[in-house]
Structure 1
Amino acid sequence: MNAPLRRVAISVLVLFTLLIINVNIIQVVRSDELRSDERNTRVLAEEYDRERGSIIVNGNEIAVSVPTDDRLEYLRTYPQGPLYAAVTGYYSLVYGNTALERAENDVLSGEDSRLFVRRIADLFTGRDPAGGDVVTTLDPAVQEAAMAGLEGVTGAVVALDPSTGAILGMASTPTYDPALLSSHDPGAIRAYMEEITGTDGPDPRVNRAIENNYPPGSLFKVIVSAAALQEGYTPETVVPAPDELTLPQTSTKLRNFNNSRCDASQEQRLIDSLTISCNTAFAQLGIDLGEDKIRDMAAAFGLDDEKMEIPLVVAPSGVGDIESDAALGQTSIGQRDVRMTVLQAAMVAATVANDGVQMKPYLVDEVRAPDLTVIDETDPEELREPISAQIADQLTEMLISVVDRGSGRAARLPGMEVAGKTGTAQVRADVPDHNWFMGFAPADEPRIAVAVFVANGGGTGGDVSAPIARDVMAAFFEGRG
């Protein structure tokens, strides 16, 4: 063999070797990654020949596959689509799957290892394969009240069972109809996607309860209060509460909401400062406690967690950089770089409600095989204990005061004590403020904790978000007699 032929042969051999290596990488190393890629419509098309399992709320199917007469044997439908869209997501030929449709895809498609015995039985019996069902923790009354309260605004609501971490409600607006993204008509699917995302308005596919974080404003004062109580303060401790506070080493003056006065004496009890949400008192309190105490308490409540899955992926919350005492003062009233998801706010309230113990939030109660046999159940899991039961009791006393005689009056329920905290977070000069409320009820034996966020609501947490929280809690108790 002459030299040119030898070079050609070697080149061909190298190319074939690289091809074989690439095929093995694709088929072995990257097979799971490619199969789970939401853009892989080939896998989705194969799955349409199998009855996909249902997503269930209180015995009702909120995502269910029905037989068709067209080329794809099953059509994914959402009987109450917009109500639960933030939780179910969509299952689309064109755009893949999202939310629970994605997080629990292996169960719903029948590929989960826990359904292996069922798949083997199907093979031998000739029975059509089917996916398993996912039963959620959601309470329909809570979900309906949350979505009703958010009608016409951009925002989110999360409700938790404080003692278990079960998610009773998860609402996000604006919403959309996942059925219109899950049809068998690619042209109609693309047209609807363009309709809901082709404007400058907020993307309705975003679950604002967990995917975005926001400045919490005065909600953060609960964490600062916890840090103070841990350092020996009590609700009766008198703290400075000036009309304005010049931030250290600056000429910047921090003022109270609407330039209001917290107390004529320029000082007041800690419980009173939280009740009326005195900015100057908490900015000075945070500076006095120091960055480490504030940051440590925020981390104890989970604000520095990098990642959490419920099983939907939750964006992290955090305190951000604090480069000076002036920055610490602003941080201590929930401004500057502090960011919190709505779920995290609900977790803070639930932790206080649960005697200082924080439970891991979860959205899936159980998983069932196609024959309705339960193959997995979620056991409540303790995440951490940020504060003692004594401090939780003191915070509860302070939060009751907020609702009874302070900024949270609109969250009151007849015949029941409610504990809570309002928040109004500045965004920038030309944009309306964000409005928050978090709380729990009954205050003496909590059964539900709620966080409400309204983006750019333009009012205060007390007049915009607290009434929504009240209605959500009322719906919960009405459903239980």
Structure 2
Amino acid sequence: MNTPIRRLSFVVMAMFAALLLASTMIQFVQAKSYNEKPGNRRALLKSYAKERGSILVDGNAVAVSKPVDNDFKWQRSYPQGSTYAAATGYFSFIYGTSGVERGYNDLLSGSSDKLFYRQLPEILTGKEPQGASVDLTIRAKVQQAARNALGNQRGAVIAMDPKTGAILAMVTSPTYDPNLLSTHDLNAVQDNWKQLTTAKNQPMINRVIGGNLYPPGSTFKLVTAAAALESGKYKPDSELDAPAAIKLPGVVRPLPNVTGRACGPNDRTTLEHAIEISCNTAFAGLGMDLGQDKVRQQATKFGFGQQLTIPMNVTPSTFPGNLQQAQLAQSSIGQFDVRATPLQMAMVSAGIANGGKVMRPYLVQTVRDKNLDVVQSTDPSVFSDAIGSDVATQLKDMMKKVVDTGTGRRAQIPNVEVAGKTGTAETAPGVNADVWFTGFAPANDPKVVVAVVVEDGGTAGQEASGGSVAAPIAKAVMEAVVN
């Protein structure tokens, strides 16, 4: 064999080896990831050939597949429309999946290895296997209360069981109807998608766990207070400087209290009273005294900067780095570049309510096969030990005073002790503040923790505060649980 032919044979052999390697990688190594891509039409069309499992709330289907007389064979339907869209997500032939529809796709579609042996009878008889059903932790009564209380205001509401991390309600507003994306009229789906994704009010964003996040305002004072108590340098009755305004290093404009007055006689107040009346100057000075490392470390223990799935990915909340003193002062009251999801602020309150332990939030309780046998279930687990139990008790007592006699009085529930913290967060010059409330009830045996944010002051506009707008929403949600 002459040299040119020998070289050509080597090239051909190398090409065959490359082809064999590529086909092996695609068909065996990468096959699962390709199949699970949200927009994989071939996988989606295959999934339409069998009945997709239902998503349930209190035993009632909020996402269900119905037989249809066309090539798709099954139609995904959302009987409650937009009520549970933040949790279920959508199932679309063109645009794939989101929410629980994506997070539990392999079980809902019946393609999970966990279902293989359970599906053997159908496989052996040539029948299409049926997907598993997914039971959400959401409670219909609590979800409806949150939806009604928030109304048409832009914002979000999250309710959880602080002892387990189970999510009891997840409402984001505005929202959308998943039926608009699950219809088999593909032209209509494309039109609906364009309208939803280009809408100025961004209805496709789940504001509970993502989007542009929010400055948490004075609700972040819980984190600063926790850092102070954990440091051992401060107690609830420790006195702090609390003038009407505080001069910040390198900044011309002083940082004022909302009231324009000092927070106590002789420009002094206690840590406990500073939480109760939400004193800006006291907490700005407290943050600078503690130092950014202690405040940031405490925020991290509550979950800031950490990855979380519920099963949807949660955008990590942030506490900025490399702060100058003035920036630290502003960050210590939840301003400057501090950004948080409502879920994150609910986790802060949940840690306080649960004796210092933050439980890992979750949205799915059980997965069942067609015979209603449990395929998998979620066991409560600890996300972090954020604070000591003694500090948690001290903060809980402070938060009770916020609702009893402080800025959160409109969260009071008759015959039920409530703990909470309000927040009013400036976002931009000339724009109404975002308003917050986070808290729990009953205070001494918490069954529900909530976080509420209302954008741009909601219907109250520039007159809004966390106590006047967000607290009543939280009250309605907590009442749905405790009553």
- TM category (shorter chain) comes to over 0.9
For residues 87 and 15 of structure 1, the distance between their equivalents in structure 2, rounded to whole angstroms, comes to 48
Let me know the Cα RMSD of the aligned residues: 1.7
The residue aligned with 2:96 is: 96
* Candidates 457, 465, 474, aligned match of 1:469: 474
Q: Amino acid of the residue matched to residue 178 of structure 2?
A: P
The residue aligned with 2:294 is: 293
Name stretches of at least 5 consecutive residues in structure 1 with no aligned partner. Answer: none
Name stretches of at least 5 consecutive residues in structure 2 with no aligned partner. Answer: none
Higher mean alpha-carbon deviation, 213-222 vs 264-273, is at 264-273
The residue aligned with 1:21 is: 21
Task: Note if contact 2:423-2:465 (Cα within 8 Å) is conserved in structure 1.
Answer: yes
For residues 263 and 345 of structure 1, the distance between their equivalents in structure 2, rounded to whole angstroms, comes to 28
Q: Amino acid of the residue matched to residue 473 of structure 2?
A: I
Task: Note if contact 1:423-1:437 (Cα within 8 Å) is conserved in structure 2.
Answer: yes
For residues 262 and 197 of structure 1, the distance between their equivalents in structure 2, rounded to whole angstroms, comes to 46
Offset of residue 328 of structure 1: 1.1
Task: Note if contact 1:275-1:405 (Cα within 8 Å) is conserved in structure 2.
Answer: yes
How many residues of Structure 1 are paired with residues of Structure 2 in the alignment? 476
Partner secondary structure for residue 276 of structure 2: helix
Offset of residue 8 of structure 1: 6.5
The residue aligned with 1:207 is: 206
Q: TM-score, normalised by structure 1?
A: 0.95
Partner secondary structure for residue 56 of structure 2: strand
Offset of residue 12 of structure 1: 5.2
Task: Note if contact 2:141-2:480 (Cα within 8 Å) is conserved in structure 1.
Answer: yes
Task: Note if contact 2:347-2:358 (Cα within 8 Å) is conserved in structure 1.
Answer: yes
For residues 361 and 198 of structure 2, the distance between their equivalents in structure 1, rounded to whole angstroms, comes to 34
The residue aligned with 2:465 is: 460
Q: Amino acid of the residue matched to residue 205 of structure 1?
A: M
Offset of residue 64 of structure 1: 0.5
For residues 382 and 138 of structure 1, the distance between their equivalents in structure 2, rounded to whole angstroms, comes to 20
For residues 7 and 294 of structure 1, the distance between their equivalents in structure 2, rounded to whole angstroms, comes to 67
Task: Note if contact 1:220-1:334 (Cα within 8 Å) is conserved in structure 2.
Answer: yes
Q: 1:14 to 1:127 in 2, by over 3 A?
A: closer
| Offset from partner CA, 1:373-421 (integer Å, 9 cap, x none) | 1121211111222112211111111101111111111111111111000
Offset of residue 264 of structure 1: 4.3
For residues 181 and 344 of structure 1, the distance between their equivalents in structure 2, rounded to whole angstroms, comes to 29
| Offset from partner CA, 1:437-479 (integer Å, 9 cap, x none) | 100001111110000011222421111111110111112233x
1:95-114 to structure 2, matched below 5 A, reads: 95-114=95-114
Offset of residue 25 of structure 1: 2.5
Task: Note if contact 1:322-1:331 (Cα within 8 Å) is conserved in structure 2.
Answer: no
The residue aligned with 1:135 is: 135
Task: Note if contact 1:321-1:337 (Cα within 8 Å) is conserved in structure 2.
Answer: no
Offset of residue 23 of structure 1: 2.4
For residues 354 and 295 of structure 1, the distance between their equivalents in structure 2, rounded to whole angstroms, comes to 21
The residue aligned with 2:258 is: 257
Partner secondary structure for residue 247 of structure 1: coil
Offset of residue 275 of structure 1: 1.0
Offset of residue 9 of structure 1: 6.2
Higher mean alpha-carbon deviation, 412-421 vs 449-458, is at 449-458
The residue aligned with 1:168 is: 168
Higher mean alpha-carbon deviation, 51-60 vs 23-32, is at 23-32
Partner secondary structure for residue 403 of structure 1: helix
Partner secondary structure for residue 82 of structure 2: helix
Task: Note if contact 2:54-2:65 (Cα within 8 Å) is conserved in structure 1.
Answer: yes
| Offset from partner CA, 1:20-53 (integer Å, 9 cap, x none) | 3332232223212211111101101100010000
Q: Amino acid of the residue matched to residue 210 of structure 2?
A: E
Q: Amino acid of the residue matched to residue 202 of structure 2?
A: D
Q: Amino acid of the residue matched to residue 109 of structure 1?
A: S
Offset of residue 15 of structure 1: 4.3
The residue aligned with 2:283 is: 282
Higher mean alpha-carbon deviation, 459-468 vs 244-253, is at 244-253
Q: TM-score, normalised by structure 2?
A: 0.95
For residues 89 and 324 of structure 1, the distance between their equivalents in structure 2, rounded to whole angstroms, comes to 41
For residues 36 and 447 of structure 2, the distance between their equivalents in structure 1, rounded to whole angstroms, comes to 38
Partner secondary structure for residue 210 of structure 1: coil
Q: Tell me whether 1:431 sits opposite 2:431 in the alignment.
A: yes
| Offset from partner CA, 1:274-324 (integer Å, 9 cap, x none) | 11111110000111112222112111212131x111111111112112422
